[in-house]
Structure 1
Amino acid sequence: MGFLQFEQLIPGLPDDLAMECLLRVPITSHPSLRLVSHLWKSTVSHPSFFSNRRLARFAENHVFLIQPQSPPPPLLVAEDKSLLEESESDDGIKEVVNGSPLLYNLNVFNTNNEEWRCLAGVTIPTFSQCVVLPAVRKLVVLGGWDPATLEPVSRVLVLDLAVGTWREGSPMPTARSFFACAAAGPSTVYVAGGHDGQKNALRSAEAYDAVADKWKALPPMAEERDESYGLSLTKEEKFWVISGYGTESQGRFRPDAEVFDPESNTWEIVSGVWPYPGNNPKSTAVVTVEGQRRWWYVLEGEIKEFQWDDKVWKGVNLGSIPKRVTELWSSSSSVSLIDVGNGKIFLMGNGENCGGEGMFILERKNVDNNTNNNNNNCNKGQGGVNWRWQHVHAPPRFFGFPFSASHLLI
């Protein structure tokens, strides 16, 4: 009777040592790893593999950005390629005959090694929204405009980040663009407001389960809210729809918000959260500082934080801000804030206004008050805390100001 032969991850190495080797492989090489063998494919696609990468501190921070092509090249669409392959090659590329200059890409920035890539394989609708669901390792792209007709679409695209494949999700019940959107819970994405094909502002709202691939209608909001901003702050998984405007008041942003409570299946209006009627709330962001979720906004050359108890926006003490950053804020009409985890915040100004030099990572570091820190990029605020500004370089084709962005540690 023969002995059972168990396949080894790497022949000649103990499996625990072989696993240590695989955990160190960058995420960009995972499509190749899955081609080596069935064992490697199942290993590097399993949820525990990504958990172990995080525990061993080999996981990489990725920022996903929906950006216009910049500078605008001839309208191109990449045919099917592997998830993280560069899409600049002429191989498998064809022109779109009836196109539009409003073509957007889904790009990814790896903050660990400052690597930029364009994710090939699908055509991204113009002004679509992207949301990451870390618990199920999926990225969802929703709605926006058809780049040829400029009409709102109901299209949903789901990227499985564990295996690197795209699929068409169940379409949104309501085609919409410029809507509020946020993730809540392990697999739920909320959408609300925006406008339809006739530019009518919407009150309707819906919830998508990315695992079940099903939509559920929510009760309508009390007010129409075009160009509103969506966020989820609390463990109760409530969905906030900030400001927006109605069909008859285009461009005049409301001062209030509506909050959806999934337990009671009801909306509640909260007044006094947005005192800037001429400013779009979409340039705000929820960031994590000292383990707490904060709502930040760059306004008039200053980062402000919303104080929920007092319902006021107050400046954040960052100490001395580098001249290059203040020049960015003075030259750019808008600055995008993106939480990239590990106490870091990515700031990106409008690339056209700042020559592509307007990208920084702001990192909060606790330091010894007795330490003499002469690093000019490190600026002391209150309580022995330093804010470090790191300039980020990017190729010109990634200069486009992001319409939507999300982050995942994987």
Structure 2
Amino acid sequence: MSSSEAQTLTLETLTLESLIPGLPNDLSSFILSLIPFSHHDRLKPTSKSWHSFLSSQTLFSLRLSSSISLSHILCIFPQDPSLSPPYLFDPLNSAWKPLPPMPCSPHYYGLSNFLSVSLGPTLYVLGGSLFDTRTFPINHPSPSSSLFSLHLPTSSWARLSPMRSPRGSFACAALPSSRAILVAGGGSRHALFGAAGSRMSSVERYDVDKDCWFEEEGLPRFRAGCVGFLVGGEEEFWVMGGYGDCRTVSGVFPVDEYYRDGVVLGLKSGEWREIRDMWEEGERWKLGSVVVVDGEHGEGPGIFMLDGDEIFRFDITSNRWWKETSLPKKSPPDSSCGFVALGGELYVMFASPRATNSTPTPKLMESQRPRQKRVILFIQIYHPKKRKWRFLMTKPPFKQPLDFKSAVMCTIRL
């Protein structure tokens, strides 16, 4: 059944059964479309008509075509999405929603260094590094060329056309108006193995409507572990940082040589230009976590980097990183921090264990068992325009510790 046929069937079903008794369905559908996406699963059992409407493309089409403000939602992949399901987190309502695990071949495991982007109500999972039980030695990772999509209205995964070149640890950006995805650079590096793996310079563009990949002009040199983002709407694709060369310490231990420069692809000209070093020798070792806040009213994007307990802003004119602010609460020394732009604000997250407040039972006291701990996600939120901080604490539903060094995050508007 095609999407248009499914939408027509949904509309016919809704006309036969009232969504809200006493109200016309057009008004009822508008009211239901105001409900945050994170609460839909709890409301679907209300009635068959509610389940049909909240699971239909009609709901998302209505939100996009009307003046309804879409919610900025964070998607977190704690680890290999075929083993551990991703979760949606709605910070405005402090609500979590589990998503179905990604389908995967039984021969593959340990997927890491993949990326995820969103276009409309669909999440895309691209590439990564993984292990294959059919190869030898099995302790060496190999890059993946796979592309999966998760359609959130139906919570269904689909396997799409793979990339021409397998890659992990690459730069990526989604082009909403063109309904396309750009990927650049990458290699086969795995989180468990230092500088091992390959580097590449190839660039590809994915056409969502055609489900097809097209080769673009390659990077000026090999670059992996880099970050990519758009500047000027969809005029330029920037690729920063990363590593290319590799040297050995004492002739044994491989060490990456990180870049201090970047390259820019003109999306209309299709040509690359190089930008000089963004920091001097000794200022920092490598590029930190980088996120982009979209500009308003014709303003350029805000490009920010988390480096330790400090946030820097990139100035395109001077090609330098300038300190913006420091974290009000320093992160624990043994924890990793997540950094993401959501709804025009910067979110800095770290998970910390906290003892439960429940009083131990006499039996527990006799056995002298340690008090159980639960993980609390502490979030520090910075507003770049107002230059103000606010704080949020939530209990994530993950069954395993959250490591932001390997976790993958992306944002989506629903």
TM over 0.5, shorter chain = yes
Question: Are 2:256 and 1:255 equivalent residues in the alignment?
Answer: no
Post-superposition offset of 1:361: 4.1
Q: Which aligned pairs between 1:79-118 and structure 2 lie closer than 5 A?
A: 105-118=85-98
Distance 1:331 1:162, change over 3 A: same
- Give the residue type in structure 1 aligned to 2:73: H
Q: In 2, distance between residues paired with 1:37 and 1:62?
A: 26
The whole-number CA distance in structure 1 between the counterparts of 2:50 and 2:150 is 21
> Quick one: structure 1 residues 273 and 120, their matched pair in 2 at CA, closer, same or farther if it must change by over 3 Å?
same
Q: Which has the higher strand share?
A: 2
Task: Choose the corresponding residue for 2:72, options 55, 61, 77.
Answer: 61
Aligned length, in residue pairs: 346
| AA in 1 matched with 2:413 | L
Judged with a 3 Å threshold, the aligned counterparts in structure 2 of structure 1 residues 307 and 108 are, in CA distance, closer, same or farther, namely same
Residues 129, 296 of structure 1: CA spacing in aligned structure 2 closer, same or farther, 3 A cutoff?
A: same
Matched, 1:340 2:345: no
Q: Deviations over 1:187-215 (max 9, x none)?
A: 21111111148822101111112232110
What is the aligned partner in structure 2 of residue 175 from structure 1?
A: 166
For residues 314 and 365 of structure 1, what CA distance do their matches in structure 2 show? 13
Cα distance in 2 between the residues matched to 1:38 and 1:390: 32
Q: Secondary structure at the match of 1:62?
A: strand
CA contact (8 A) 1:192 1:206 kept: yes
CA distance in 2, matches of 1:390, 1:251: 36
Correspondences of 1:291-302 after superposition (within 5 Å): 292=299, 293-302=301-310
Q: Which residue of 2 aligns with 1:405?
A: 409
TM-score w.r.t. length of structure 2: 0.72
Q: 2:290 aligns with which of 284, 291, 297?
A: 284
Write the distance in 2 (CA, Å) between the matches of 1:385 and 1:146.
41
Instruction: Give the counterpart of 1:360 among 379, 398, 403.
Output: 379
Amino acid at match of 2:183: V
Structure 2 counterpart of 1:238: 236
Moved more, 184-193 or 169-178: 184-193
Q: 1:48 maps to what in 2?
A: 61
For 1:333-390, what per-residue CA distance to the aligned partner results, in whole angstroms no more than 9, with x for missing partners? 753321111x3322123769xx955631415398xxxxxxxxxxxxxxxxx7533233
Separation of aligned partners in 2, 1:17 and 1:164? 26
| Paired residues of 2:312 and 2:325 also in contact (CA < 8 A) | no
> CA deviation digits over 1:42-97, x for unaligned, max 9?
994134322267x344x43310122227xxxxxx96xxxxxxxxxxxxxxxxxxxx
CA distance 1:60–1:129, change in 2 (3 Å): same
Give the C-alpha shift of residue 38 in structure 1.
11
Query: Counterparts of 1:271 and 1:338 in 2: how far apart (Å)?
Result: 26
What TM-score, normalized to structure 1? 0.73
Contact 1:284 1:296 in 2 (8 A): yes
Q: Percent identity?
A: 23
After superposition, give the CA deviation of every residue in 1:247-295 in whole Å (9 maximum; x if it has no partner): 4355221111111112111111111235578645361211247675211
Question: Residue 252 of structure 1 aligns to a residue in which SS?
Answer: strand
Q: Following the alignment from structure 1 to structure 2, what is the Cα–Cα distance between the partners of residues 183 and 6?
A: 37
Find the counterpart in structure 1 of residue 5 from structure 2.
none
Q: Is it true that 1:165 corresponds to 2:156 in the alignment?
A: yes
Q: Mean Cα displacement is larger for which, 103-112 or 275-284?
A: 275-284
1:161-211 Cα offsets, whole Å, 9 max, x none, are: 343321111001111111111112332111111114882210111111223
* 8 Å CA contact retained: 1:192, 1:203: yes
| Equivalent in the alignment of 2:121 | 137
**Equivalent position of 1:17 in the other structure:** 27
Kindly indicate whether the alpha-carbon contact (under 8 Å) linking 1:143 and 1:175 is maintained by their aligned counterparts in 2.
yes
Contact 2:55 2:154 in 1 (8 A): no
Letter of the 1:120 partner, please give it: P
Residues 64/145 of structure 1: CA separation in 2 closer, same or farther (3 Å cut): same
Q: CA RMSD in A?
A: 3.5
Looking at structure 1, the residues matched to 230 and 98 of structure 2 have their Cα atoms a distance apart, in angstroms, of 28
Q: 1:190 touches 1:207 (CA, 8 Å); kept in 2?
A: yes
Q: CA 1:252–1:332 in structure 2 vs 1: closer, same or farther (change >3 Å)?
A: farther
Q: Does 1:189 align with 2:195?
A: no
Give 1:219's aligned residue. Answer: 217
The reply to whether residue 391 of structure 1 matches residue 375 of structure 2 is: no
Aligned letter for 2:257?
R
Q: Which of 30, 36, 46 is matched with 2:48 structurally?
A: 36
Contact 1:184–1:239 (CA under 8 A) maintained in structure 2: no
Report the counterpart of residue 128 of structure 1 in structure 2: 114
SS in 1 for 2:117: strand
Distance 1:160 1:64 in 2: 13
**Cα shift at 1:224:** 0.5
- Whether contact under 8 Å (2:145, 2:162) holds in the other structure is yes
1:76-119 deviations in whole A, cap 9, x for unaligned?
96xxxxxxxxxxxxxxxxxxxxxxxxx55422212122223432
Answer yes or no: is the 8 Å Cα contact 1:207–1:215 preserved in 2: yes
Change (3 A) 1:214 1:42: farther
Deviation at 1:144, TM superposition (A): 0.7
The whole-number CA distance in structure 2 between the counterparts of 1:335 and 1:147 is: 26
Query: Per the alignment, do residues 227 and 34 of structure 1 end up closer, same or farther by CA in structure 2, a change over 3 Å counting?
Result: farther
Q: Which amino acid aligns with 1:306?
A: F
Change beyond 3 A, Cα 1:350–1:276: farther
1:272 aligned residue? 277
Q: In the TM superposition, what is the alpha-carbon distance from 1:236 to its structure 2 partner?
A: 3.4
Measured after TM superposition, the shift of residue 40 of structure 1 is: 4.1
TM-superposition CA deviations, 1:122-156 (whole Å, max 9, x none):
147322110112xx322110001235553211110
Alpha-carbon distance in 2 for matches of 1:393, 1:29: 17
Call closer, same or farther: CA 1:389–1:48 in 2, change over 3 Å: same
